[in-house]
């Protein structure tokens, strides 16, 4: 009898004023009366895999405008990460096990941009993409599951918009023009976020760039 596939899922967040990129395995586990993190298609699914069946995980993070990923590889035993490496853009491999904030699997609040002793790209505005894979074996068969997603980073442009509001001079004759630019920039920035949610990535980048162009003349250093 073939395994029933779990609903493997994840999320990427940009936090602490664009200084941290955080990944979470959001698959969850099958509902039990004692479980808060519920997912009827999660780990422990009847006929599917258990957490302890997972023996490895791989996370690839593509920073905006970069086609080569930052690669994290994890070896897992009984839901504990026992080996972990980071491969940077130059294919340099760094052992990061001792630097992990937690060795518990699944990945929770995993800090992609923590200081692991490797050089990482700067966090810039644009589209982050990621793919996440788990592998392992059950008493029935081996498995290989993967999922992917994206996250739009607009922190610097959001900062530009916020500072442009603060910078408004009520005595200036160009107030209406400046306010009009701010509002348009804000609308296009929201459109970029909505487009990302709908996986309309080309539109998202176009909206982001338009918002940045409009805001640029009003933006202070962020």
pLDDT tens-digit map of 176-212: 788 888 999 999 999 999 999 999 999 999 999 999 9
Long-range interactions of 205-213: CB distance < 8 A, separation 24+: 205/126, 205/127, 208/125, 208/126, 208/152, 208/154, 208/157, 211/154, 211/157, 211/161, 211/184, 211/185, 211/186, 212/125, 212/157, 212/160, 212/185
Determine which helix (DSSP H) or strand (DSSP E) holds 184, and give its type and residue range: helix 175-197
- Sheet with 142-153, edge to edge strand ranges: 93-95, 80-87, 70-77, 54-62, 126-137, 142-153
Long-range interactions of 95-104: CB distance < 8 A, separation 24+: 96/72, 104/79, 104/80
| Whole-structure pTM value | 0.88
State the average pLDDT over residues 86-109: 97
Distance CA 73, CA 133 (A): 10
Interacting residues of 129 by C-beta distance below 8 A, sequence separation 6+: 61, 62, 148, 149, 150
Q: What is the pLDDT of residue 28?
A: 87
Model confidence at 70: pLDDT above 60: yes
Q: Give yes or no for a contact between 50 and 43, defined as CB atoms under 8 angstroms apart.
A: yes
């Amino acid at each position: 009898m073939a395994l029933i596939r779990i609903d493997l899922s994840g999320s990427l967040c940009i936090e602490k004023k664009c200084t941290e990129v955080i990944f979470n395995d959001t698959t969850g586990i099958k509902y039990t009366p004692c479980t808060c993190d519920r997912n009827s298609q999660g780990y422990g699914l009847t006929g599917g895999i258990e957490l302890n069946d997972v023996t490895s995980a791989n996370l690839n993070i593509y920073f905006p405008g970069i086609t080569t990923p930052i690669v994290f590889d994890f070896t897992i035993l009984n839901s504990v990460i026992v080996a972990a490496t980071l491969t940077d853009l130059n294919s340099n491999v760094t052992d990061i096990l001792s630097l992990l904030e937690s060795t518990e699997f699944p990945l929770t609040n995993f800090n992609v941009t923590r200081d692991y002793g490797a050089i990482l790209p700067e966090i810039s505005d644009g589209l982050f993409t990621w793919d996440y894979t788990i592998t392992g074996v059950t008493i029935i068969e081996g498995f290989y599951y993967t999922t992917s997603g994206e996250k739009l980073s607009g922190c610097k442009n959001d900062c530009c918009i916020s500072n442009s509001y603060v910078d408004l001079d009520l005595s200036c004759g160009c107030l209406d023009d400046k306010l009009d630019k701010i509002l348009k920039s804000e609308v296009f920035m929201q459109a970029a976020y909505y487009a990302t949610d709908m996986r309309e990535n080309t539109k998202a980048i176009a909206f982001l760039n338009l918002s940045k162009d409009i805001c640029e003349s009003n933006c202070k250093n962020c």
